[in-house]
Structure 1
Amino acid sequence: MQLVHQLVDIDTAMKAAKQAQEKGCYLDAAMKLRSLGSLLEQCSGAELQLEIYETLISKKTLLEEHFVYDMKDIWKSSLKWEEAGPEKNVKKVILKVATGNIMQMEQMMQALNYFEHLDFYLRKFGNKVLKYLLEPVITMKSTVEIHEETNLTIIEIESYAASPKPHYTVIFSIIIDVFDFLYSHLNFAIEEDVTLMNRLGEIISEEFCEFFIKNCLSDTIPSHSNDLEAYKVIAKATEDFQDHLVEIGFLGTSNQSILEYARNVDVMFANKICRKLLGRARDIMKKNLHDMMEVGPISPSRHLEIEETMEDIKHFDTLKPEIKLSDNTFQFPKCQISKSAHELLLLVYEVLDEAVQSNDFCSVRLFCTARNIFELYSAVVPTHHKMFLETIPQQVALFHNNCMYLAHRLVTLGHEYSSRFPTVLRSHTSTFIDQVTVLRELGISVFLKFMQGQRKQILDILRDSGLATLGEDPKITPSIEKAVRQCLRQMELLQTVWENVLPANVYCKAVGCLLNALVEELIIRVTTVEDVPATTAVHLVTVFSVVINRAPHLFQEHGEVHRFVKRWQKFRELVLILGASLRDIDDRWADSKGPLAQEFTPEEVKQLIRALFQNTKRRSAVLARIK
C-alpha cells in the first residue's frame, strides 16, 4: 500500500506542476517539480528495482528540461536585442522589453532563479547591456531614445564612432537614463530582499565600474594644479551618480570604487600628470639627435651664497686662497647640443615649477618624476638611437654633449628650487647631484666606444698596408702612402663633423688621441726594422712628411698638435733621423742633452742607426757616443 500511495503522490505532483505552468505560475511549477524530485528520492529498497521507477525518473528529468526550455523561450520573447544596419561611423542598438504580461516575466525569472539558471541568462544579458548600451555612451557621442509601442517599451541608442568623447555630464545623464529604463521595467523581486537589479549588479558592476573609471572619470582628473579647486563640482556630480546607482540597487553600499576614485583626486592627479609628463619626455627623447643648437658658455643662473656670521668670517680669513679661481670656472663650454636635450630640460623645469605650486603629496610625486625623466633618458636614448650612435660621428658627439649639458645643469638644479619647494621636500635632500655622474659616464662611455672603433680602423688600415712587412720587405710600396693618406682623410672627415660640435678642448683631445695612435703606430713599425735601405728611408720621409704637413690643420691652432699629440715631437725626430746623416744625428743627440735624447732612448737611437747606416768606423764612433 505504501508503494501505491507514493505513486499517487508522484502523479499528483506531476499534474500540479503542469497545471501551475499552464496558469503562468512558473515559480509554483518550479517548486512542485523540485518536490517531485524529493518524492522520487524517498523511494528505497525493492521500489528502486521496479521498472516504473526508472520511467518516473526519466519523466521527471524530461519535465524539468521542458520547463527550463519554456522559460528560455519566454526570456527570448520578453527581451529582444536588435542591431540596425550600421551606417558609416554610426551604430544603432535597440532593446525591446515586453510589457504586456509583467507578471509572467517576473514568474519566469523567479523560476529560473529557483532552478539556479538565472545567473547564466543574466550574465549573457548583462554582457550585452555593457557592450551595446553602456560602453558606447561612455566612449562615443550617443543619443538615447525611449518610447512605447503596443505591449513593448523600447530603448534605442545611436552612437557616432568618429565623434569626440562627450562631456562627463552628458555621459552621467545617459547612463542614468539607461539604468532607469532597466530599473523601471526589469526590477523584479527574484527572491526575498533580492531584486533583478541587485543580481545584475553582482554580475557586471565590477566590470562596469572599471570601464567607467578608466574611460570617463580618468578624463575628468585635472592636468594642472590650478584646476583642482574646480574638481569639487565633478566630485559632487560623481557622488550623486554613485548614490543613484545604489538607490536603484545596481551597486551595493560596499562598492565604493567610483567614489573612492573621485575622492582620491590628489593621488589620481599626481598619477595622471606624472604619466603624461613621462610620456612627453619619452617622445622628446625619440626625436632626431642631429637637430641641434648652440649653447655656452653657461654658468649657474645665480650666485650660490653661503650664509656666514661675522665670527665665521674672522675664523676663515686666514684660510682664504691667495690665487682666485678664474671667472670661467664651472662654466659649460661653447658647443652644439640636440634641441631635444634642451627641450627635455625645459620640461623638467616645468615639472619642478608645478611641484612648487602643488600640495605635499603631489610635489613629492612630481619631484620624483623629474628625477625619473633623467633615469629614463639614460635608458631610452642609447637604445632608441643605438644604430646612429654606433655609426654616425656627429650624433655620437651630440649625445656626448647632451649628457654633459644635462649633467652640468643637474649640479645646481636642486639648489635653484630648494628654497621654493614645499616643506616636505625641503626637509629632505632634494637634489639631482647623484645623477650627474651617471649621465657623464654614459656620455663618455658612448663616445669612447666610438673612439675605440675609429682607432681600430686607423690601425687596421696601417697594418693592412706594406708597413706591416717593412722589416721583411724593405721596399716601400704605394700602398703605404695610400694607407697613410686614407687615415688622414678619415680624421679630416671627423674634423668636419666634430670641430664645430664638440667643445674645443674635447675636440682637440679626441683628434689628438686618434692622431697619436697613427704616429705611434708609424714610429713602432719603423723603429723595429733591422735594415732600412737609403731609398726606403727617402720614401718614408716623403710619406711621413704628408702627415707632418696635414696633421696640424686638424687643429684650429696649428701649434696645438704638440700639446694634444703625445708622440708628435718623437715622430718629427724620427722623420729627421730618416733623412739625416750620422753627424746630424750625433749633433741632435748632443751627449744626451739634445732634442733627440728627449724623445728616444739610447737603445732606440742605436737601433735606428744600425738599420739606416752601414757598419763603418764612423758609425761605430757615433754608436759609442750614444749612451
Structure 2
Amino acid sequence: MEIQVVKLLGNYGAFSESFEYSLELKDKIDGLLEQTDNMTSRATDPENGLRQTVISALVDHHEISHKVQENIAVLEGLEHFSRVEDILSQYEVFMDSGKILQAGHCIQQAAKTLELSPNAGVASSHITRSLSEQCTRMTAAIDQMLDDLIAHAIHYQYPIDDNNSQFKITISYNIKVPSLAFPRSSMDSTPGSIRWHELIRALTLLDVVQEKLRPLQKCLTRQLLQPLIQRHNNSVLLIHNSESYVSAKETSISLELKPGCGPGDLFEDVLNVFKFIQQSIFLKDYSSPEFNTEEFSSDTEVLTHFLGRYIAMEACSLISEHYLAVTVPTGISELSNYATVASAAMHLEDELIAMGFLTEADRKLREFVENIDVHYTNNKRDTLLQLGRAVITSEDFKTIQVKDLDKDVDPDTDIKESSVSMNAKQLVEMILSTLHEAKSLSVTASPHLYKATRSLVDLYRALMPVHHARALTTVPALAILFYNDCMYIARELEKVPARLDDGIPGMDEVQYDDIIPALKALAKKWLDIQVQKQREELMQSIEDANDFQDSGVDSNFEAYERSMKQIVLVFKHLGKAWKVLGKLLDEVSKRVIKSLEELTDISEKESHKLAALCGLLFECEDQFDSAGPLVEGAEDVNDDEDPIHFFVPSWEKFQLITDILELSFAEIMTRFRAGQLHMFEEGELADLICALFAETPLRKHNLDEIEQGHPVALSHHTY
C-alpha cells in the first residue's frame, strides 16, 4: 500500500504537466471549431455565401459558352453558305458560254456541299432549303438549255406539198446559246455560242444523249431511210458537208422524191447515209488541239452504239421487207440471178459492222439472202395462193371434158365422159408445176412448195363452198360440176406419187392421202344437199301430177306432162353422178308405179296417155349410156350389164308397167306365161288388169291363171 502511494506521488509532477498541456489543446480545438463554424456560416449563407457565388459564376459561364457556340455555328454556317454561293456564282458564266457540262458540275458540287452541313441547325435552316430549291431550278434550266441548244443546232425541213417533196436535216456546228430565263446576279454576262462537238460531249457525259437525240434518231429512220428504201427508184439523196469540221459552219442531208430520177443503187445510197451520220453528226476521226481526241472518240462510240445501232438495225429490217423480199424471184430460172443482189446486201452489212453500227449478231441481211430459197418458196406460196384464190372465186364456169385432159385415154375411142370446170384444170396445173419446181430446190425449200400445194387444196375446200354457196345450192348443174371438180382434183392428186418417182428433195414421199378423202367427202356433202333439194322437187312434181287421175282429160294430161318433163330436166341437170341419179330415179319410178297401181279404172285413152307420160322418163336412160372417169361406182357394173339397171333397181319394172299400159290383154298374158312379168307380185298384176280391162269371162279366166303364180322364167336376170 505504502509502495503504491510512493509511486503515485513520484508521478504527480508528470501528470500535472500533461493535464496542463491537455487544457491548452482544448483551448486551441475550441478556437478551430469556432473558426470552422464561422467559415461554414460564410459559405452557406443564402445571400452572400461562397456557394451561391460559385453557382452564379457557373451559370454565367454556361450562358456565355452557349452564346459563343451559337456564334461559332453562325460563323460556320456563313462560311458554308459562302462556299455554296461561290460554287453557284460560276453557274451563270458557264451557262452563258454554253459550257453545260461545267454548269452541271457546279450544281452537283453545290448539292453535295449542301448535304455536308457543319451542324444540324444549318442543315434544317431556311437558307439551306432555299439553296436546294435553287439547285433544282438550275438543273431544270440546264435540261431546258440542252433542249434549246439542240433545237438551235438541228433543223428539220418537211415536205409541204407536192411541189416541195424534199425532206432535209441541217446541223449547225456553231450554236448560239439562248438567254437564261431566270434573273441574273450579274448583268454584265452576255450569251455566247458553242460548237456541235461540245454539245455532244455534254449530252454524253450527262448521260442524256439517248433522250435528247431520239427525235434525230427517229427522223433519220422514218423520214430519210424509210422513204429512201421504199421508193429508192424515185429518190435522190443529197449530202452537203465540209472536209474540215474546224472551219465548217453546218452540214446537211436531204431526200428529194422525183419519180423516175432515182439512181437505182439502193445499197450505195444507204451506205452514204451512214457515212454522213458517222462523219458529220458523230464526228468520227475529228481532232483539234483544243479538244481531247481520246475523249471524243469514246463519245463517238457511245453515239454509234446507242443511236446508230438502232438506226442501222431499222434500216436492215426495211431493206429486208421492202427491197429484198420484193425482189425475190417468182420464177425458178431467175433465182440464180439473185446472187448480185445478195452480194450487194452483204457488202452493205459488212461496212456497217466495220463502222461499228452493227455487230456480227445483227446480220439480218445475210440471214435473209442465205435463206433465199426459203423466201422464194414463201413468195411462191403467196403467189400461188393469190392466183389460186382468183381462180376459185371466178364466176366463169367454162367446162372441158375429162377425156381431153387425160393422156391415158385412147383418142380413137368415142366415149362421152364427164366434164370439169376450167378452173379445176387450172388448179391441177398449178399444183403440178409447183411440184415440178420443188424438184430443183434444196432440201430445206422443197417441202415448203409441197406444203404450198396442200394449202392451195385447203383453200379450195374452204373457199369454194363459201364463196359460191348460193350457186351451189340453187343451180343443180353447178353442184354437179363442183362434185366433178372435187373428184377430178382428188384423182389427179392420187397420181402424184407415180408422177414423182424420184420424189422431191427433203421428202421421202409426196402424197395427199389425208386430203383426197376430205375432197371426196366435200363433193359428196354438197351433192347430197343438191340431191335432197332435187328429191323434194321431184316428189313435188309427182304430187302435182295428182297421181295421174283422169289423165284422159287434155288439161290434166298437159299438166301431168309438164310435171314429167320437169323430172327429166332435173335428171339432165344432175349429170353423171350415177349413184345419185340411180337413187333418185329409183324413187321416182317407184312412186309412179305406185300411183299407176292405185288407179282403179283406166280407159283406153287414159292408158295411151299414161304410157306417153311414162315414156317421157325414158330420156333419163341417156344419162347412163357411158361411164366417164369421174362416175363413182361405174367400175362395179359388169360389161354385159346395162348401167341403168344396176343403179335403178326398179327400172325394169317401170319399163314393164309402161308396156302393160299399151299391150293387149293377149300380149300381157303371153309375157306372163313367158315369165317376163316376174317383177310384179301376183296381186299387183291382177289389180292392173282389173283397172285396164272390163270384167269378162276372159278376164276372170286370166286372173285365175295369174293367181296360180308366175311360171318359171324362161330367161331373165335377177337384180
Which category describes the TM-score, using the shorter chain as reference length? 0.7 to 0.9
Q: Distance in 2 between matches of 1:234 and 1:442?
A: 45
- Quote the offset at 1:3 in angstroms: 3.7
Q: Distance in 2 between matches of 1:115 and 1:476?
A: 110
- Quote the offset at 1:267 in angstroms: 2.9
Contact 1:403/1:440 (CA < 8 Å) preserved in 2? yes
Aligned partner of 1:97 among 151, 171, 178:
171
1:156 matched to which residue of 2?
A: 254
TM-score, structure 2 length as denominator?
0.69
| Matched residue type, 1:443 | A
2:568 matched to which residue of 1?
A: 491
- Quote the offset at 1:71 in angstroms: 1.3
Once structures 1 and 2 are overlaid, which stretch shifts more, 431-440 or 454-463?
431-440
Contact 2:441/2:505 (CA < 8 Å) preserved in 1? no
Distance 1:615 1:18, change over 3 A: farther
Q: Secondary structure at the match of 2:157?
A: strand
Query: Is the aligned partner of 1:625 residue 2:707?
Result: yes
**Percent identity over paired residues:** 20
- Quote the offset at 1:214 in angstroms: 0.4
Query: Is the aligned partner of 1:257 residue 2:364?
Result: yes
Q: Distance in 2 between matches of 1:76 and 1:142?
A: 27
Q: Distance in 1 between matches of 2:445 and 2:261?
A: 30
Q: Distance in 1 between matches of 2:174 and 2:108?
A: 29
Matches within 5 A, 1:444-593: 444-463=524-543, 466-467=546-547, 482=559, 485-489=562-566, 491-492=568-569, 495=572, 502=575, 506=576, 510-525=580-595, 527=597, 532=599, 534=601, 541=607, 544-556=610-622, 563=645, 565-574=648-657
Distance 1:30 1:625, change over 3 A: same
Give deviations 1:263-321, integer Å, cap 9, x for gaps. 333333333333333333333333335122333066566xxxxxxxxxxxxxxxxxxxx
Q: Secondary structure at the match of 2:160?
A: strand
- Quote the offset at 1:77 in angstroms: 1.4
Distance 1:543 1:511, change over 3 A: farther
Matches within 5 A, 1:336-485: 336-419=419-502, 421=503, 424-425=506-507, 428-432=508-512, 435-463=515-543, 466-467=546-547, 482=559, 485=562
Give deviations 1:393-448, integer Å, cap 9, x for gaps. 332232222223223333332222214x46644xx223345544433333333333
Of structures 1 and 2, the larger Rg is shown by: 2
Aligned partner of 1:178 among 273, 279, 283:
273
- Quote the offset at 1:21 in angstroms: 1.7
RCO comparison, higher one (Cα < 8 Å, 6+): 1
- Quote the offset at 1:69 in angstroms: 1.4
Distance 1:343 1:562, change over 3 A: closer
Query: Is the aligned partner of 1:68 residue 2:138?
Result: no
- Quote the offset at 1:213 in angstroms: 0.8
Q: Secondary structure at the match of 1:180?
A: helix
Distance 1:231 1:572, change over 3 A: closer
Aligned partner of 1:134 among 225, 243, 247:
225
- Quote the offset at 1:97 in angstroms: 1.2
Q: Distance in 1 between matches of 2:595 and 2:614?
A: 17
- Quote the offset at 1:187 in angstroms: 0.3
Aligned partner of 1:276 among 383, 386, 398:
383
Q: Distance in 2 between matches of 1:265 and 1:22?
A: 58
Distance 1:3 1:214, change over 3 A: same
Distance 1:548 1:15, change over 3 A: same
Q: Secondary structure at the match of 2:390?
A: helix
Distance 1:493 1:422, change over 3 A: closer
Aligned partner of 1:334 among 417, 437, 442:
417
- Quote the offset at 1:540 in angstroms: 6.7
- Quote the offset at 1:614 in angstroms: 11
- Quote the offset at 1:257 in angstroms: 1.6
Give deviations 1:159-185, integer Å, cap 9, x for gaps. 24x659974xx1111112222222222
Q: Distance in 1 between matches of 2:310 and 2:523?
A: 56
Distance 1:380 1:586, change over 3 A: same
Q: Distance in 2 between matches of 1:539 and 1:120?
A: 104
Distance 1:253 1:586, change over 3 A: closer
Q: Distance in 2 between matches of 1:37 and 1:585?
A: 128
- Quote the offset at 1:32 in angstroms: 2.7
- Quote the offset at 1:138 in angstroms: 0.9
Contact 1:186/1:197 (CA < 8 Å) preserved in 2? no
Query: Is the aligned partner of 1:187 residue 2:290?
Result: no
Q: Secondary structure at the match of 1:521?
A: helix
- Quote the offset at 1:103 in angstroms: 5.3
- Quote the offset at 1:476 in angstroms: 9.4
Q: Distance in 2 between matches of 1:516 and 1:295?
A: 28
1:19 matched to which residue of 2?
A: 93
Give deviations 1:356-383, integer Å, cap 9, x for gaps. 3223323333333334433333333333
- Quote the offset at 1:133 in angstroms: 0.6
- Quote the offset at 1:49 in angstroms: 4.3
Distance 1:147 1:202, change over 3 A: closer
Contact 1:147/1:153 (CA < 8 Å) preserved in 2? yes
Contact 1:613/1:619 (CA < 8 Å) preserved in 2? no
Distance 1:485 1:333, change over 3 A: closer
Distance 1:586 1:553, change over 3 A: closer
Q: Secondary structure at the match of 2:420?
A: strand
1:319 matched to which residue of 2?
A: none
2:393 matched to which residue of 1?
A: 286
2:717 matched to which residue of 1?
A: none
- Quote the offset at 1:79 in angstroms: 0.9
1:208 matched to which residue of 2?
A: 315
Contact 1:609/1:619 (CA < 8 Å) preserved in 2? no
Query: Is the aligned partner of 1:107 residue 2:198?
Result: yes
Distance 1:298 1:159, change over 3 A: closer
| Residue ranges of structure 1 left out of the alignment (5+ in a row) | 302-325
Q: Distance in 1 between matches of 2:301 and 2:644?
A: 94
Distance 1:254 1:507, change over 3 A: closer
| Matched residue type, 1:448 | D
| Matched residue type, 1:352 | L
Contact 1:68/1:112 (CA < 8 Å) preserved in 2? no
Distance 1:423 1:477, change over 3 A: same
Q: Distance in 2 between matches of 1:61 and 1:616?
A: 131
Distance 1:6 1:257, change over 3 A: farther
- Quote the offset at 1:251 in angstroms: 2.3
| Matched residue type, 1:20 | F
Contact 2:683/2:707 (CA < 8 Å) preserved in 1? no
Once structures 1 and 2 are overlaid, which stretch shifts more, 96-105 or 557-566?
557-566
Once structures 1 and 2 are overlaid, which stretch shifts more, 145-154 or 23-32?
145-154
Give deviations 1:549-600, integer Å, cap 9, x for gaps. 222224438997963543233335555777899998877655xx7444x223
Q: Cα RMSD over matched residues? A: 4.2
| Matched residue type, 2:707 | R
Distance 1:166 1:546, change over 3 A: farther
Give deviations 1:126-157, integer Å, cap 9, x for gaps. 22212211111111120012236983322221
- Quote the offset at 1:477 in angstroms: 11
Distance 1:423 1:255, change over 3 A: closer
| Matched residue type, 1:174 | D
Q: Distance in 1 between matches of 2:260 and 2:134?
A: 58
Q: Distance in 1 between matches of 2:594 and 2:82?
A: 119
Q: Distance in 2 between matches of 1:244 and 1:94?
A: 25
